[in-house]
Amino acid sequence: MTPRVLTALPVFNEQSHLVNVLRTVRQFSSEILVVDDGSSDATPELLSRESGIHVVTHNPNRGYGAALKSAFDFSIENNYDVLVTIDCDGQHEPRMIPELAARVFADQTQPADIVSGSRYLKHFAGDSLPPEERRRVNQSITEMINGRLNLNLTDAFCGFKAYRVDALPRLNITEFGYAMPLQLWVQAVREKFHIVEHPVPLIYLDEKRSFGGTLDDAQRRMAYYREVIDREMSDAGSKCNEPELCGAGGAC
């Protein structure tokens, strides 16, 4: 039986990209969910003109992680088999949605629980040169996650992912900001998720895109990411008593 695939787009003030991205996503996914995380621009009006898609609206804005959590909940409640998440800023290529979705059940004996896009696993013609600060933060956090969780990720933050929906209820996502993927990795290891990476192009259209508030400062953003990792690892270690989740530093 062909898996039911839902493609979800978390959006916040994406009036400049929304229509074009949705037009392209429709070519590769028949079921689409948009989670409007409290947009204050023309995004809600543009969404009202789109037919044949599901829309979940947050009011007020709750955060990137909260938007993904809503996508998780929607996919579970509506009995999808695969959830693909893709950002709406034009930095992911919708043509790759079927590739990521297909990898979830590519190995019937061991389906993937998370297929995580990686912008650093393979070079594509036309790849962007990432902003140095963002590449440095991503590399540092990816190395930290790998060292403490015994993973071999090359890209800890890519929002282009496919999930096996049956695995999602085992997660307890409470980090609603940009560090949500870090909580996800810790919980995925605790729950013994089967994780694979899939190469995706590296595209940066807006090097000055804001994280919002103090997170635009790289040092404060790093501190926030480390805090989330430490807190989640401490919680995971106390729940499952697995020493490897404490890492070499014994954070638990």
Tens of pLDDT along 26-53?
A: 999 999 999 999 999 999 999 999 999 9
Number of domains forming the structure of the chain: 1
* Predicted local confidence at residue 216, as pLDDT: 62
- Across the range 68-90, mean pLDDT stands at 96
Of 21 and 247, the structure prediction assigns the larger pLDDT to 21
Cβ–Cβ under 8 Å, residues 20 and 87: no
Tell me the residue range of the domain where 26 lies. Answer: 5-210
Whether omega for the bond prior to residue 181 falls within 30 degrees of 0, making it cis, is: no
What CATH number has the domain bearing residue 12?
A: 3.90.550.10
Question: What is residue 204's DSSP assignment?
Answer: -
Cβ–Cβ under 8 Å, residues 172 and 187: yes
Cβ–Cβ under 8 Å, residues 199 and 103: no
215 in any annotated domain: no
Find the Cα–Cα–Cα–Cα dihedral 5, 40, 159, 184, rounded to 10°: -90
225 in any annotated domain: no
144 in any annotated domain: yes
* CA nearest to 162, candidates 29, 17, 57, 21: 29
